[in-house]
Amino acid sequence: MTVAVFDHEGPWTEEEYLSLGETSQRVELFDGSLHDKVLKMHHYAAAGIDWYLLADQAAGALRLHRRRGRHYVEHSAAKRGETLELTEPVRATIRPEELLP
């Protein structure tokens, strides 16, 4: 998926990431800990980041959230065997089993 959406193969180095400059179109991958599921979502909404994609490893699902005011609401979701179609903030088709163990 990285290659298709970002035209970049493999992990990003810190130098490559920082060279992207200031943008509201940032993608961050994380480990799924409680901090990430609750606190990051709160902080991202407060920072005005419009979209938040959560990869829920325990449920084998992807959940796309859209910011509404200072909070996120679930916009769409897909579990194993389904596809998540994104039209915003990027166009992509994602299958949970391709990202989740």
At 72-85, the pLDDT tens digits run 999 999 999 999 99
Choose among 60, 59, 53, 97: nearest CA to 76: 53
Alpha carbon of 46 to those of 27, 53, 63, 87: distances in Å?
Answer: 16, 16, 19, 23
Across the range 8-27, mean pLDDT stands at: 68
Cut 0.85: pTM above it: no
Q: Is the peptide bond before 96 cis (omega within 30 degrees of 0)?
A: no
**27-70 pLDDT tens trace:** 565 555 555 666 788 888 888 889 988 888 888 899 999 999 98
> Over 60: is that where the pLDDT of 90 sits?
yes
- pLDDT at position 25, please? 60
